[in-house]
Amino acid sequence: MHPKLKAVVFDWAGTMIDFGSRAPVVALCRVFERAGVPVHEAEARADMGMAKRDHIRALLGVPRVAEAWAVQHGRAASEEDVAALFEAIGPMMREAARDHAELIPGAADIAGRLQAKGVAVGSCTGYTREMMADILPRAAEQGYRPDMLVCAGETPQGRPSPLMLWKNLVELGAWPASACVKVDDAEVGIAEGRAAGVWTVGVAASGNAVGLSRAALAALAPEDRAQRIAHARTALTNAGAHVVIETVADLPAALRELPIG
């Protein structure tokens, strides 16, 4: 570990748990289908990492979805519709998150090694505190116990604003920002890290851009798998990631590349 490293703040789905970030997609597709306006998985993934209320609002703003909503409901979607969908998605999100709470290989080991060296381990998520209720004990059972958690709705704005990340650093007493790192699989999470002034590490293979479970990714032909990971790597790099790795297990090598401090 770099001697000046003070804190690493991790995203959750697609970064530390839920290989492929499947749970949010399952819940979003389900809630829109029940509203009579099915959405495609690619549409649900486009703004992944946002707070779920903001994500729903963004989905309703997609031209195809907006048109389908108007046809189905006889009017354009409103803030009342955003609120109703957000209320409905809570139980679905909690159920989906509970069913996809397996740690990504290496996650617990990496976090434990950081903490053993005196590096604070923070975390933030687009899930609400209620949605995390079943995930936290499942993660702890598997050996992952971050020192801090900030959830959607606990700061005035969510990603891509830096507020959730800054709240982590304030509560952890970690500074300067140049001695801290954000690890995230979504472009909006990388934007959050850049806005906060910390170093950013993108996670390509296990995250939202590839969107496949570990088994499904392994089952692909080598050329297809490599192409999908390369596409995710490019997206994260273009979003501003300082370094991009395949999974969190590769983090130690990434940290050695960064001029931390």
* Residues recognised as catalytic: 11, 52
Percentages helix, strand, coil for the chain, rounded to the nearest 5? Answer: 50, 10, 40
* Separation CA 225–CA 125 (nearest Å): 27
**Residue 173 burial class via C-beta count within 10 angstroms: exposed 0-12, middle 13-18, buried 19 and up:** exposed
Q: Where are the alpha helices (DSSP H) in 40-121?
A: 41-45, 52-60, 63-73, 79-99, 107-116
> Regarding beta strands 7-10 and 243-245, do their DSSP bridges make them parallel or antiparallel, or are they unpaired?
unpaired
Residue 241 DSSP one-character state = -
Name residue, tokens 């598997």. 142
Please measure the distance between the N-terminal and C-terminal CA atoms of the chain and give it in whole angstroms.
12
